[in-house]
Amino acid sequence: MLKTLGRKWREKIEFGIFTLPVLICIAVAFYIPFAMTVRYSMTKWNGISKNPVFVGLDNFKQIFTGDTNFADSAWFTVKYAVLYIVLVNVLAILLAVVLDMKLKTTPWLRAAFFIPYILSLVIVGFIWKFIFMQGFNSLGESTGWSVFALSWLGTPGLAFISILLVSIWQSIGFYLVIYIAGLQSVPEDLKEAATVDGAGPMRKFFSITLPLLAPSITISVFMALTNSIKVFDVILSLTGGGPGGTTYSIAYDIYRDTFQNNLYGYGTAKALILFLAVLVVTILQLAFFKRREVEA
Amino acid sequence: MNKNNNKTGRIVVEVVMVLLSLLFLYPLFLTILNSFKSFSEVMTDVIALPKHLVFSNYSYVWQFINYPKLFMNNLVITVIGLLGIVFVSSIAAYKLARTKNRLSGIFYFLCIMPMLIPFQSIMLTVLQIAKKIGLSESTWGLGLLYWGFGAPLAVFIYHGFVKGIPLEIDESATIDGASGFRLFFSVIFPLLKSVTTTIVIIDVMWIWNDFLLPLLMVNGSPDTKTLTLAAYTFVGQYTSDWQYAMTAMVMAVLPSIVVFIFLQKYIVKGVVAGAVKG
């Protein structure tokens, strides 16, 4: 009796020793800051004064009624996320299908498309800033093409496209390797059987390859969504929110409010809204794709 | 006839794809190219080859940003972060996967739930806490913080993998007299090698290149800066001296590219495995 009691206690202590370190680390990194975020979101505070002033839900009211910065950046983020998710996945699938043809150069191609993904996004932004500003100048002079004469970072609509292109350029390799792995798990004999049955390449792609890629698509869309909704680094170094403040994302807007305008309380309220948006979108998406996959 | 057609078709596809990949990498090529040019050459023609290679850009930037120091900072942050993430996450995931009760379930949920919290939602308060407990403005402090930020994904991946290891292995080790940490590190941890590799690859790429957290935590002094941060401030100061800016870019990304060339196969595999499991 005593012995089993002793063993039970020992097991409990061991459970604690193994699991508490990680929980403490996670609490310090996430739960405590999160609780503080919730608290500050209901205050007016500049980050310096000792006592934040409690204002209830005023911050939220102001965000939703009188903050054009927030509305603009939210709209920017939604537009960006939708286009990014669609384009990066469609392009990656197309590339993956070509690379899956077992070309002699496939290993080189895969590596080439993957390289930007290992680079820091801030640096990628700077490299492209250089290309758009200086590089396009020289390319324009030597080719005479008018595409290069456009101000890719200085015109609102074009700056948006530039950010989109650079993000896709940086990350397409990641989605590409996921789709290549997905394609490799599509059984060869299925494709052959379809060819024997007289299905053309288009038909084969849409009725066999694409449905069997569903798990890879779920993962990729999920990743693309979580990344695009938080877009920040690349904008910071590429356009800095310009021209005329047209390329602020939600994450950048939060950064601007808290660290540049010293609106700590107000910024955290926005941060909390971003969290809720991510939460809702993630849950909806997981539920949607889970259903789809079962049906397929 | 058909077969012949197919063959020429393949060659055409191959050539087109190689050209496309070269075009894709052209911005990186231009970056490297211009890091070897003088100021006037960058300004007159970006795409032309340098008339003679200018190496002084490199010695200038190397000294100006104190490259060896920055490199060491990156290394310290990444290594401390990595060791901690692997250690605390693997032991916890193992115990949580092996213990079947309500508390264990709740703990597991608490571990993986933060994957849904975007960093920007908490960056402000993280910084405050870090300042309060003395982790800010130091490389090892930043490394320690990564333990918590990296743990949710690592626990999730380890947990899924431990479930696939038969319980008999634990039992026979217990009979042999091993228990607790000894059982874990001599028997279980070696079996986790493939997932550990995956986690190491994903986390190295993330921590080495991370920007926002280091910007808030260690940007105050040149002694604690990371490579990416230094490149960021450097470009801010030298907005028109593109030749220096491009040199700083090359120096910041070169370590990643060199590592990638040598470990390409593992990196791609690790990234895919991490995504599929995560």
Instruction: Look up residue A206 and give its DSSP letter.
Output: I
Q: Are residues A126 and A198 in the same domain?
A: yes
Q: Are residues A35 and A143 in the same domain?
A: no
Q: Are residues A133 and A88 in the same domain?
A: yes
* A48 pLDDT higher than 80: no
Q: Are residues A126 and A15 in the same domain?
A: no
B253: which residues sit within 8 A by CB, 6+ positions away? A119, A120, A123
For chain A, what is the domain count?
2
Q: Which of B151, B249, B252 has the CB atom closest to A25's CB atom?
A: B151
Q: Does B110 touch chain A (CB under 8 A)?
A: yes
The Cα-based distances of B19 to A108, A174, A278, B26, B154 in angstroms read 12, 20, 39, 10, 39
Q: Are residues A76 and A176 in the same domain?
A: yes
* Mean pLDDT estimate for chain A: 88
Q: Is A167 helix (H, G, I), strand (E, B) or coil?
A: helix
DSSP string, B64-120: HTTHHHHHHHHHHHHHHHHHHHHHHHHHHHHHHHH--SHHHHHHHHHHHGGGGS-HH
Q: Are residues A100 and A31 in the same domain?
A: no
Q: Are residues A121 and A19 in the same domain?
A: no
* B256 pLDDT higher than 50: yes
CB contact under 8 A, A32 and B125: yes
Which one, of B116, B110, B275, lies nearest residue A284 by Cα? B116
Q: Are residues A25 and A147 in the same domain?
A: no
B64-277: CATH topology is: MetI-like fold (1.10.3720)
Where is mean pLDDT largest: A67-76, B55-64, B79-88? B79-88
A60 lies in some domain: no
Examine residue A243 and say whether the peptide bond preceding it is cis (omega within 30 degrees of 0): yes
A14 lies in some domain: yes
pLDDT confidence tier of residue A1, bands split at 50, 70 and 90: low
Q: Does B191 touch chain A (CB under 8 A)?
A: no
State what percent of residues in chain A have pLDDT above 90: 44
The alpha carbon of residue B150 is apart from the nearest alpha carbon of chain A, in Å, by: 9
pLDDT confidence tier of residue B277, bands split at 50, 70 and 90: low
Contact indicator for A199, A207 with CB cutoff of 8 Å: yes
Q: Are residues A127 and A19 in the same domain?
A: no
> Which A residues in the span 225-264 are in contact with B, Cβ-Cβ below 8 Å?
229-230, 232-233, 237, 250-251, 254-255, 258, 264
A101 lies in some domain: yes
A211: which residues sit within 8 A by CB, 6+ positions away? A296
Q: How far is Cα of residue A38 from the mean position of the Cα atoms in its chain?
A: 24
Q: Are residues A36 and A180 in the same domain?
A: no
C-alpha–C-alpha distance, residues B247 and A236, integer Å: 20
Q: How many CB pairs under 8 A join A and B?
A: 244
CB contact under 8 A, A115 and B117: no
Looking from the CA of A198 toward its CB, the CA atoms found within 13 Å total 0
Instruction: Please report which helix (H) or strand (E) contains residue B58, including its range.
Output: helix B56-64
Contact indicator for B240, A91 with CB cutoff of 8 Å: no
CB contact under 8 A, B129 and A32: yes
Q: Are residues A156 and A108 in the same domain?
A: yes
pTM for this structure? Answer: 0.89
What ipTM was predicted for this assembly? 0.88
Instruction: Look up residue A262 and give its DSSP letter.
Output: -
A74 lies in some domain: yes
A31 lies in some domain: yes
Domain ranges of chain B: 64-277
Interval A102-153: pLDDT, tens:
888 888 999 999 999 999 999 999 999 989 988 888 898 888 888 888 888 8
* A295 pLDDT higher than 60: no
State what percent of residues in chain B have pLDDT above 70: 97
Domain that holds residue A28: 2-40
Interval A199-221: pLDDT, tens:
777 888 888 888 888 889 988 99
